[in-house]
Amino acid sequence: MSENPRPGQERFVAPLDETPLQETGTVDESQPPESQWKEAWKQLRRNWLFWVSVAILVVVAAIVIAPGMFTNIDPNRADLSRSLDGPSDGHIGGFNKQGYDVFARTVYGARASVLVGFLATSLVTVIGLSTGAVAGFYGGLTDSVFSRAADIFFAIPLLLGALVALSVVNNIWPDRGFVGAIFAVVVALAAFGWPQVTRIARGAVLEIKSLEFIDAAKAIGVTKRVNLRRHVVPNSLAPVIVIATVSLGIFIVAEATLSFLGIGLPFGIVSWGNDIAAAQVQVRSGVRMGVLYWPAGALAFTVFGFILLGDTVRDALDPKTRNR
């Protein structure tokens, strides 16, 4: 460029100390970068819906862990002389047709129903995360095998598959007790519930494994197995945690539905599904509908807490949702 520009083409350059642009791109290096989980926690603690869901689930957890704090009545003690009696002193829920205390059975029924939901969700998460991570990371034949297997199970409705599986188990293993009954329902639900988690985990892994820090780990000699365990899976957990939180409520409802149909937990086990099933006569006759409202209300209250928690966690972990 000519040192003597033509008239009208002169350029003016402001002195450097008069321009604040030099400060625009500076980064405060004194503070360590915040992780995704720390940022998510900041979002969660500012969301009042998160604290509502936590309060609900704390109450449910207290009922499950220590039901004796809420009632001292034996839920398995029947008094036919008080069949369908209304609320009275010490019996705020009244009695059902068999003479059981409705409130006591609602409190103690939380243990079986929530336990099934928690164990089924844990098993589904482990199976889905493992298969999805391996399929997405290794690709090729491994991806095809796991993906097609997930598609086959995904085509079978959860309740229908569990209904058929438990019908077979009931014929083979009719007297399985409390632990056996819980185990059978959990396995039946997990057997048909894992494909959704597999799909979500696979998609997350496919996105993460193409990022630069994964290539950097390969460049310094990190093996595929170590890379998958230390880098890919931890950074793919966010969507899996969201679906697992929501699935907890879904599996609790699924157990109640199966027990209502007489296929899930045996009637001798106190659960919300069994109590709702026992209240069918009152639903049809319209007499003492409170027998139904207590277990159904507890079920709805618990599922609402888990779904609300899942929504708030999703909003905190999903940057697209967070920036709306």
**Prediction pTM value:** 0.81
Residue type, 247: S
Total Cβ atoms within 10 A of residue 50: 20
* Structure token digits, residue 189: 């639900």
pLDDT per position as a tens digit, 227-255: 888 888 888 888 898 888 888 889 999 99
Mean pLDDT (the chain) is: 83
Q: State whether residue 293 is helix, strand or coil.
A: helix
Tell me which residue of 120, 196, 192, 195 sits closest to 156, measured CA to CA.
192
Selected residue with higher pLDDT from 298 and 317: 298
* Structure token digits, residue 34: 């915040």
Q: Is 94 left (phi over 0), alpha (psi -120 to 50) or beta?
A: left
Triad 177, 178, 179: Cα angle to 5°: 100
CA 146 to chain centre: 22
* Structure token digits, residue 151: 């598609």
Query: According to the model, what pLDDT value does residue 95 have?
Result: 86
CA distance 162 to 166: 6
Domains and CATH numbers, the chain: 42-322 (1.10.3720.10)
CA distance 228 to 222: 10
Are the C-beta atoms of residues 56 and 308 closer than 8 Å to each other? Answer: yes
* Structure token digits, residue 169: 């188990």
CA distance 66 to 304: 21
CA distance 104 to 275: 11
Query: According to the model, what pLDDT value does residue 118 have?
Result: 92
Per-residue pLDDT at 155 exceeds 60: yes
* Structure token digits, residue 214: 């994964």
Are the C-beta atoms of residues 246 and 151 closer than 8 Å to each other? Answer: no
CA distance 223 to 15: 53
Triad 65, 68, 71: Cα angle to 5°: 130
Per-residue pLDDT at 20 exceeds 70: no
Strand partners, 88: 91
Task: Classify burial at 112, counting beta carbons within 10 Å of its beta carbon; exposed 0-12, middle 13-18, buried 19 or more.
Answer: buried
Query: According to the model, what pLDDT value does residue 299 have?
Result: 92
Task: Classify burial at 176, counting beta carbons within 10 Å of its beta carbon; exposed 0-12, middle 13-18, buried 19 or more.
Answer: middle
* Structure token digits, residue 232: 């890919």
Triad 256, 258, 261: Cα angle to 5°: 110
pLDDT per position as a tens digit, 110-135: 999 899 999 999 999 999 999 999 99
For residue 257, give every residue at least 6 positions away whose Cβ sits within 8 Å of its Cβ, in sequence order, or none: 159, 264, 273
Query: According to the model, what pLDDT value does residue 268 have?
Result: 82
